[in-house]
């Protein structure tokens, strides 16, 4: 019973945080650069679905992928009746199989399948007090498998707590635009994700810090320039998202 209450409290905290007043417009302004009505978008690590809501407001069809059982149930409650939202309860990685998922019941947004992520967070500034109390096994799929089932997305958001490079390792073709989370406690993961993007296509890059939903650079950068920017970030920057768009599919203006 105590674990159920912690899980419910953690989800309630996430709902308050990610559906807070003021976030809606910023999310929509960001996403309108990449998708429009009728486009397909993937949300990998959909959490409580605030990105799903934004993408749907813009008229996109959405495949939402979330491995945590309680969060997958939440997504079904919120979006299960929407015929243009498909919910898959799975982790995403470099290959198909099974994944050991470490649950942070009080803060489910940082639940992870990466023990390296947990080790990097231990004692790091800004990560104090995080605890992963329970481990479960979940199905793991790949981006290639998702594309085979649902089609090639116009935009793919990746937020999987320290395994963003592994998700991209399971992708064998360029998508027009994507984003992946980075953290300053695991810059090497972001560097590997950038290298994988460079191997997939001629991408240009930008970034947003934290949950600002505001691009940091007025012009889109090449891989070397965004890597230099990432390397120069102070540790206190903590996290954000790197956006990648194919040079032949320039981002739309908001």
Question: Does residue 252 lie in a domain region?
Answer: no
Question: Does residue 251 lie in a domain region?
Answer: no
Q: With a threshold of 0.85, does the pTM exceed it? A: yes
Q: Which residues pair with 103 in a beta bridge?
A: 134
Question: Does residue 204 lie in a domain region?
Answer: yes
For residue range 32-76, what is the model confidence (pLDDT) as tens digits?
A: 999 999 999 999 999 999 999 999 999 999 999 999 999 999 999
Question: Does residue 95 lie in a domain region?
Answer: yes
How many domains in the chain? 1
Question: Does residue 194 lie in a domain region?
Answer: yes
CATH number of the domain residue 100 falls in = 3.40.50.150
CA distances from 168 to 80, 100, 171, 172 (A): 27, 19, 5, 8
Question: Does residue 253 lie in a domain region?
Answer: no
Whole domain around residue 198: which residue ranges?
2-246
What count of Cα atoms within 13 Å lies in the side-chain half-sphere of residue 183? 19
For residue range 95-147, what is the model confidence (pLDDT) as tens digits?
A: 999 999 999 999 999 999 999 999 999 989 989 999 999 999 999 999 999 99
């Amino acid at each position: 019973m105590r674990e159920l209450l912690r899980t419910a409290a953690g989800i309630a905290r996430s709902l308050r945080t990610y559906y807070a007043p003021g976030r809606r417009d910023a999310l929509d302004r960001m996403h309108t650069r990449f998708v429009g009505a009728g486009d397909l978008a993937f949300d990998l690590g959909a959490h409580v679905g605030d990105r799903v809501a934004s993408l749907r407001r813009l008229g996109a069809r959405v495949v939402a992928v979330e491995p945590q059982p309680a969060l997958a149930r939440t997504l079904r409650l919120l979006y299960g009746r929407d015929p243009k939202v498909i919910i898959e309860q799975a982790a995403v990685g470099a290959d198909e199989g099974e994944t050991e998922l470490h649950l942070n019941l009080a803060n489910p947004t940082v639940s992870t399948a990466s023990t390296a992520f947990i080790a990097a967070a231990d004692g790091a500034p800004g990560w104090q007090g995080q605890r992963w109390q329970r481990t479960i096994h979940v199905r793991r799929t790949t981006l290639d498998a998702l594309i085979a089932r649902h089609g090639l997305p116009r935009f793919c958001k990746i937020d999987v707590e320290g395994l963003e490079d592994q998700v991209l390792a399971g992708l064998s073709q360029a998508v027009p635009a994507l984003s992946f989370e980075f953290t300053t406690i695991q810059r090497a993961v972001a560097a590997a994700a950038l290298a994988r993007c460079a191997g997939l296509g001629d991408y240009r890059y930008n970034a947003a810090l934290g949950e600002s939903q505001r691009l940091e650079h007025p012009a889109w950068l090449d891989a070397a320039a965004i890597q230099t920017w990432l390397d120069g970030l102070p540790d206190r920057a903590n996290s954000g998202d790197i956006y990648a768009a194919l040079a032949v599919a320039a981002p739309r203006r908001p």
